[in-house]
Structure 1
């Protein structure tokens, strides 16, 4: 039975919201559920979903969740008639991002931010009433400033009759070659029987990025966008040792004729991968000199950032290079989605 047959044979179906280019949805299907519907507001992300045979059995809709009702899915659910139904999604994270901390608490909108789609996600969950739910978001959602929204999510789930678990999951604990933490809320109509078993920082798998992207370091796979030759900080990038950032060129690290002052720039300025260490978080919209860069003094290639996010090697991305970077950077690592889905299904 190949991966497509096993998906079609699943008796657990999933409705996906804020689907993006499918990072979480891939994991959902690898974890044992069949994604029968996806929805996203970005046309290019929906084009990516449609371009991949892994989701050939799914309906893909480019729409705003605010315009959707639970009743819109009645006929689809009737046609599939799943034994168990789950809803998965990660509402837009801008209201909870670390970038927001540069704004004073008096000016931050937080729970009232118009980009906060959590309420819409909870609304449609309440209208559909699935057996289980995954709600994922950025680590900084747990910042004290966001306490009200975290409490609101948990209280709403309980009010709807769900049991709730919340975890901060480090992708490294799953062997994913990236330092990336995500907050995941699990909700189930049945009480949870077990706890997650891969959360211990002491048990994090030793993983290096070379094992995942080394195969793509060939001139035949080069991209025009990857070169920094002749650009502003090309020489400085070449001087940064693998595993370091611009601070390696400062007086603090003993660099002769220092180019920079430590702690005066963002930490990921001229940040360079070390082949024998995991990657830092892949950004959705990095600035021109924001890393991680490849240890060979170039920007990472599409297939490299996709592999760091554990997308399948044959996964197709639509759009411009910038649009693809945004899709991949905003995605949930697929293997994290797989582990989360396996856990949820085991509790239903």
Structure 2
């Protein structure tokens, strides 16, 4: 297989967005995946906000955001007054707000709670209400709200209806976009939901750039889905070695080495006719000993993976920081601040930059 290197840089591209007439204010910015996407789409980020100190340091460490003010704050303590001077100094022709409020209230992990007991709308971790409050105060031309796919699960019906009603009462037209990062050039299966809102009537939908072989037959303008090899093979050299990647001599190191690329622990069970079964199919999580295939996209990158939770590199080691960053389409020259655990969390919680770019491009086209 011939690999084609993929990737891009941003810290040397600041002049491309510095004079943008569309400005963005970021909330729940984390390491800046959505903020990067915003600037790639042509909207200059003039401010970011996050409660995690390492994430704020990450944003400050990158020249791509030197023109922005980065707040280490809880959104509950933020008011429109905090942005008065900033908006006056930048004087944007158009303003958008972007953010992905914490998704714990809508995660699949909460499905075991009965419908009567599950009150996502009242969950103290649900920051959507505070995001809407700031939107109401700042009155932007449009905004983006990102969340996990399971926000649309029936058990969240009341919370989602309240969100829809609130957006409507604020005077915005909106679209709900169910997305898979694969469709927008990200080498990773990652489903997310975007609420895109504008003061104008929405026209069209975000433009997908990639598709399956069957989709390409119907729409030849689409490109094939990205594979992980093209994005991370460049980091498979000694220069990028990390102590954290080592699995040799540990509990399941031999079993991990025996799993073929693109497979998980089930490859070592009688279901797959493994000669000396190590496990029983259906007794482990699906991502246990899960390995990447360089010819295929990745599975979802986790913010806090367990010790034997994949995806692992196809060679039988844990992924390196630049590899997990690349699978989230962070720029090659992007700087992360914090220890290994903190950086994994920052990257795993992020919106893939190229997915964010496509969503913000669509939003901008509908506020102009």
Q: What is the TM-score with the length of structure 1 in the denominator?
A: 0.97
Aligned alpha-carbon RMSD (Å): 1.4
Structure-2 separation of matches of 1:339 and 1:325: 24
Quote how far apart the aligned CAs of 1:231 are.
0.6
Quote how far apart the aligned CAs of 1:242 are.
0.6
Quote how far apart the aligned CAs of 1:75 are.
1.4
Say yes or no: does 1:345 pair with 2:355: no
Structure-2 separation of matches of 1:141 and 1:238: 37
53, 60, 79: which one pairs with 1:69?
79
Are the aligned partners of 1:71 and 1:128 in contact in 2 as well (CA < 8 Å)? no
Quote how far apart the aligned CAs of 1:3 are.
2.3
SS at match of 1:87: strand
> Which residue does 2:299 correspond to in 1?
280
Say yes or no: does 1:334 pair with 2:344: no
Structure 2: stretches of 5+ with no match in the other structure: 1-11, 217-221
> Which residue does 2:145 correspond to in 1?
135
Q: Choose 81-90 or 105-114, whichever is displaced more.
A: 105-114
Structure-1 separation of matches of 2:174 and 2:139: 14
Q: Mark the CA change 1:239 to 1:102 in structure 2 (over 3 Å): closer, same or farther.
A: farther
331, 339, 349: which one pairs with 1:320?
339
> Which residue does 2:165 correspond to in 1?
155
Structure-1 separation of matches of 2:71 and 2:297: 35
Structure-1 separation of matches of 2:326 and 2:108: 25
Say yes or no: does 1:208 pair with 2:218: no
Structure-2 separation of matches of 1:302 and 1:65: 29
> Which residue does 2:195 correspond to in 1?
185
Q: Mark the CA change 1:111 to 1:216 in structure 2 (over 3 Å): closer, same or farther.
A: same
Structure-2 separation of matches of 1:284 and 1:274: 21
Count of aligned residue pairs for this structure pair: 347
Structure-2 separation of matches of 1:173 and 1:305: 19
* 1:190-339 alignment, distance < 5 Å: 190-198=200-208, 202-203=215-216, 205-339=224-358
Structure 1: stretches of 5+ with no match in the other structure: none
Quote how far apart the aligned CAs of 1:107 are.
4.1
SS at match of 1:92: coil
78, 85, 88: which one pairs with 1:78?
88
Structure-1 separation of matches of 2:226 and 2:274: 30
> Which residue does 2:130 correspond to in 1?
120
Q: Choose 64-73 or 319-328, whichever is displaced more.
A: 64-73
Structure-2 separation of matches of 1:105 and 1:284: 27
Q: Mark the CA change 1:228 to 1:58 in structure 2 (over 3 Å): closer, same or farther.
A: same
Quote how far apart the aligned CAs of 1:221 are.
1.2
> Which residue does 1:55 correspond to in 2?
65
Quote how far apart the aligned CAs of 1:146 are.
1.1
Are the aligned partners of 2:265 and 2:288 in contact in 1 as well (CA < 8 Å)? yes
25, 46, 62: which one pairs with 1:15?
25
Are the aligned partners of 2:23 and 2:44 in contact in 1 as well (CA < 8 Å)? yes
